Chain A
Amino acid sequence: MPETDVKPSPAAPTLVTGTGKPLSVTRLRKTYGGVTAVDEVSMEIAAGEFVTFLGASGSGKTTTLMMIAGFCEPDSGSIVVGGRDVTRLAPQKRGLGFVFQQYLLFPHMTVWENVAFPLQLRGVPKAELRRRVGETLEMAGLSAMARRRPRELSGGQQQRVALCRALVYRPPVILMDEPLGALDKKLRDQLQTEIKRIQQELGLTVIYVTHDQEEALVLSDRIAVMRDGRIDQFDTPQELFERPRTPFVADFLGAANFLPGHLEERSDGDAHILVRLDTGGLLRARPQAAAGGARVRAAVQPGRLALCPPGDGFCTGTVETVTYVGTLVRVTVRPLGGANTEPVRLELPAGRAPALGERIGLAADPADVSVFPDVLPDPEHGG
C-alpha cells in the first residue's frame, strides 16, 4: 500500500485557523446556447461551513462552482466573497482555492515547490514561506515526500498535495470539484476523513461538488441537492434524509421506495396523517400539510423499513430477492393485493434476513414516512 508510509500528524499549533469567509450567491444564471445550465441559484454560505453541491451530471453543480471560481462568467446574478463582489473578476483576482478532480499539480515542480508556488506569487518572505509550506505539508502527512515530483506519488498523495496547494495561502473559500472522483473506494474514505479534519481544524469555508450522495452526507454541514440547474433543497444531511422536501431528494439521497395511494380523512385526533395505499394497507406518516382524498406518494428509505408478522404492517408481501452486501442484506418484497405494484426494497441487518418466498409484513415508523402530492414528475426522471 503506497499510502501506509504517510502518517497524518497533528497540526502545528501555529497554523492560522478560522480563515474561511462567508460566501453568498444571488440569482446566478447561466445558459449555453439556449440551454439553461444554472437557473437562478441563490444561497448563503457561512464562514467555516462545509457545503456540498450534490447532483447528477448535468444538474448544474459544476457550472455553479466554475462561476464561483471565475472560470466561466454568469449571464446574471452576483457572487460575494467575504463582503467583496467578485462576479466580474478574473479567477486570479478572486483569491479562492481550487482543488481539481485531476489534481493538476505542476509536473515540473516538486511537491514542495507546488505548495510554495501560490505563496511565491504573493511575495511571502522566504522564512515565512518555508515555515508555512512546512507546516501545511506536515499537517497533510507529506513532509517525507517534499522533494518528490508529482508523478512519483500515488493518486491519493497527489490529491493531498493539491489540497495543500489550495489551502496554504489561506483563501477565504476553497472550491473542490469532485476531488476524490479518480480514487478507489478505500482511499476515498480515508481522504474524506482527512479533508473533513483539516477543514474543521482550520475553519475553512469549503464548497464541494460531488455526485456521490454518501460522500456528501459524510462531509457536509449542508448539502445543496441540485437538479436541472436549480437547487431542490439546501439543508443539513439529517434534514435532507429525514425530511426530504421533494420526491427527487428522497430518491437521490436514499433511493426511497415510493408507495402510491391517497390520503384518508384525519380521525380520532391522531397526530399522524394516514395514507391508504393502492395495495390496500394503511400507512401512517408524520404530520404534514395535505388535503384529504388527494392522490399522494409516500416515500420511505429502504433502511427505515422493518419486518413484522404478515397482516400487521402497512403491507404484506412475499420475499422476492435477498442479496448480501457485507453487514447488510438487501431484500425486495412483492406486495400482495393491488395491480402493477412495484417491489418494495429493504435494507436489514445481515442476521435478520427472511427466507426467499416467505410471506412477511412491512412496518415503518411514521416519522420516517414522507408524503408527496402525486403531481410532480416521476422521481426516476433526471435521477
Chain B
Amino acid sequence: MTMAGSVLAPNPAPAAAPSPAPRKQRTGRALSDRRTRFGLLNATPVVVYLLILFIYPIFSTLMLSLKGEDGAFTLHWYTDAFRGANLEILLTTLRISAETSLLALGIGFLLASAISRLKPLWAGLAMIVVVVPHFISALVRTYGWIILLGDNGVVNNVLTDLHFPGAPFQLLYNEIGVVIGTTAVMLPYTVLLLYAVMKGIDRRLLAAAASMGAGRITIFRRVYVPLVAPGLVNAGVLSFILCLGYYLTPALMGGEKQTMVASLIDEQVMKQNQWNGASALGIILLLLTFAGLLLLKLLKSAGEALRNRGTAS
C-alpha cells in the first residue's frame, strides 16, 4: 500500500506524515507481529548488557551530581561548574576543541584529497603512514611531540640554525602545543572519514563539469566541495566531540591556562576527592557531546534545505 502510494504520488514530500493511526493501536499491532516479538527476544542480551554497563553508570553519575554533601538534592555542582575558573576551563575546552577540529579538518582535507588521487599501492602506503601512529600508545606519542617541540627540541633547533626570525618559539605548555598534540591525535579520524567520501566521488563528474565550461576553481567549489561536504561535517563534529573529553595530551602539553574539563575532573577526583562536582562536569561533557551530535543533524538538514532552496524558482 505504501509502495503504491509513493509511486502514484506525483512529487512525494520528503517527510510525508504516516497515516494518523492512534499510537497505542500501532504499538499493539507491532507487538502482535511474530517477527517483532522474535526481534525483541534477540535484542534482550544487548539491552541487558547496555543497561548494566552504560545506562546504570551514567544514571548513577547523574544522581551523584545532583546530591549535596548532606545527601539532599541540589543543583549547586552545576552552578559551580559555570562559575569563575570552572567556566573558564569549560570555555577553554570548547575553544581548543574547535581549533583542533578545524585544523584537523583542514589538514585532513588536504591529505585525504592528495591520497585519494594516488595509485592504489601508494594510497595504501600513505594511509598506513597516517594510521600507524595511532597504534602507538598516546603517552609515547605525546612524549614524542614534547621532544620535537621543546625549547631545545628538533623543531626549534632547526629553526634557530636557519636563523628563522623569532626562533626559538614557545611551542609547549601553551595553546599551540595543545592544539598541535590534539590535532595529531584527531588527524587519522578526519583523514579516514574524508578519504572514504572522496574515494566515492566519481571523478568523471569533474570531467563532466569541465566539458560544460567550468574552470578548476569552479569545479572545486561547485562540484567537489559539495560532494565532500557530508564527510566534512561528520569529520569535524567527530573530532570536536572526541577532543571535548580528551585528557592526556592537553594535560601533558598544555600549561596552566590550557586545563581542559577532563583534567579538571581528574583533579577533583584524585586530589580533592570531590566526586559530586566531577560527576556534574562529566554530565556536562556528555550533554555537550549530545549538543555536538545535534549540531551535526542540524547542519545536515540545513545543508539539505539550502540545496532545496535553490530550486524554489
Residue ranges of A at the interface with B (Cβ–Cβ < 8 Å): 5, 69-71, 90-92, 95-98, 100, 102, 104, 106-110, 112-113, 117-118, 121-122, 130, 144, 146-148, 165-166, 169
| Shortest Cβ gap from B217 to chain A (Å) | 11
* One of B88-96, B102-110, B219-227 at the interface: B219-227
| Shortest Cβ gap from A136 to chain B (Å) | 13
**A104 x B205 contact (CB < 8 A):** yes
**B227 x A107 contact (CB < 8 A):** yes
Of the candidates A92, A100, A110, which one forms a contact with B213 in the assembled complex, judged by CB atoms under 8 Å apart? A92
24 A–B contact pairs at CB < 8 A? A69-B211, A71-B207, A91-B207, A92-B215, A95-B213, A98-B208, A98-B212, A100-B204, A100-B208, A104-B202, A104-B208, A106-B208, A107-B227, A109-B307, A110-B310, A113-B310, A118-B213, A121-B212, A130-B313, A146-B311, A147-B11, A147-B311, A165-B212, A166-B212
Of the candidates A92, A110, A112, A144, which one forms a contact with B211 in the assembled complex, judged by CB atoms under 8 Å apart? A92
**Closest B residue, CB atoms, query A134:** B313
Q: B139-177 interface mask toward A, CB cutoff 8 Å, 1 = contact, 0 = none?
A: 000000000000000000000000000000000000000
A70 cross-chain contacts in B, Cβ below 8 A:
211
A122 cross-chain contacts in B, Cβ below 8 A:
213
Of the candidates B11, B210, B213, B311, which one forms a contact with A112 in the assembled complex, judged by CB atoms under 8 Å apart? B311
| Shortest Cβ gap from B224 to chain A (Å) | 10
**A108 x B226 contact (CB < 8 A):** yes
- How many angstroms between the C-alpha atoms of A164 and B210 in the bound complex? 16
- B283 in the interface (beta carbon within 8 A): no
B229 cross-chain contacts in A, Cβ below 8 A:
108
Q: B225-240 interface mask toward A, CB cutoff 8 Å, 1 = contact, 0 = none?
A: 0110100000000000
- B62 in the interface (beta carbon within 8 A): no
**B207 x A108 contact (CB < 8 A):** no
Q: Which residue among B211, B218, B222, B310 has the maximum number of chain A CB atoms within 10 Å of its CB?
A: B211
Of the candidates B204, B215, B311, which one forms a contact with A104 in the assembled complex, judged by CB atoms under 8 Å apart? B204
A144 cross-chain contacts in B, Cβ below 8 A:
10-11
Given A71-B207, A98-B211, A108-B227: 4 more A-B contacts, CB < 8 Å: A91-B207, A108-B307, A147-B308, A147-B311
B205 cross-chain contacts in A, Cβ below 8 A:
104, 106-107
Of the candidates A71, A109, A118, A148, which one forms a contact with B212 in the assembled complex, judged by CB atoms under 8 Å apart? A118
- How many angstroms between the C-alpha atoms of A90 and B209 in the bound complex? 12
| Shortest Cβ gap from B20 to chain A (Å) | 26
Contact A91 B313, CB 8 Å, known A107-B227, A108-B226, A108-B307:
no
- How many angstroms between the C-alpha atoms of A128 and B293 in the bound complex? 42
**Closest A residue, CB atoms, query B313:** A130
**B226 x A92 contact (CB < 8 A):** no
- B214 in the interface (beta carbon within 8 A): yes
B307 cross-chain contacts in A, Cβ below 8 A:
108-110
- How many angstroms between the C-alpha atoms of A91 and B212 in the bound complex? 8
A92 cross-chain contacts in B, Cβ below 8 A:
210-215
| Shortest Cβ gap from A300 to chain B (Å) | 43
Q: Which residue among B204, B212, B226 has the maximum number of chain A CB atoms within 10 Å of its CB?
A: B212
**A91 x B204 contact (CB < 8 A):** no
- How many angstroms between the C-alpha atoms of A112 and B209 in the bound complex? 15
- How many angstroms between the C-alpha atoms of A92 and B217 in the bound complex? 12
- How many angstroms between the C-alpha atoms of A98 and B213 in the bound complex? 11
**Closest A residue, CB atoms, query B202:** A104
Q: Which residue among A130, A146, A147, A165 has the maximum number of chain B CB atoms within 10 Å of its CB?
A: A147
- The 4 A-B pairs at the shortest CB distance, nearest first, are namely A98-B211, A118-B212, A104-B208, A110-B311
B218 cross-chain contacts in A, Cβ below 8 A:
121
| Shortest Cβ gap from B7 to chain A (Å) | 9
| Shortest Cβ gap from B182 to chain A (Å) | 31
- How many angstroms between the C-alpha atoms of A348 and B212 in the bound complex? 47
A98 cross-chain contacts in B, Cβ below 8 A:
208, 211-212
- How many angstroms between the C-alpha atoms of A259 and B209 in the bound complex? 51
B308 cross-chain contacts in A, Cβ below 8 A:
110, 147
A166 cross-chain contacts in B, Cβ below 8 A:
212
A121 cross-chain contacts in B, Cβ below 8 A:
212-214, 218
Contact A169 B311, CB 8 Å, known A102-B204, A106-B205:
no
Of the candidates B204, B210, B223, B313, which one forms a contact with A90 in the assembled complex, judged by CB atoms under 8 Å apart? B210
Q: Which residue among B10, B209, B215 has the maximum number of chain A CB atoms within 10 Å of its CB?
A: B209
**A91 x B211 contact (CB < 8 A):** yes
Q: Which residue among A90, A98, A108, A118 has the maximum number of chain B CB atoms within 10 Å of its CB?
A: A108
- How many angstroms between the C-alpha atoms of A69 and B308 in the bound complex? 32
**A117 x B212 contact (CB < 8 A):** yes
- How many angstroms between the C-alpha atoms of A112 and B226 in the bound complex? 17
- How many angstroms between the C-alpha atoms of A211 and B222 in the bound complex? 34
| Shortest Cβ gap from B303 to chain A (Å) | 9
- How many angstroms between the C-alpha atoms of A106 and B204 in the bound complex? 10
**A96 x B211 contact (CB < 8 A):** yes
- How many angstroms between the C-alpha atoms of A11 and B181 in the bound complex? 63
**B313 x A97 contact (CB < 8 A):** no
Q: B1-40 interface mask toward A, CB cutoff 8 Å, 1 = contact, 0 = none?
A: 0000000001100000000000000000000000000000
B210 cross-chain contacts in A, Cβ below 8 A:
90-92
- How many angstroms between the C-alpha atoms of A144 and B12 in the bound complex? 12
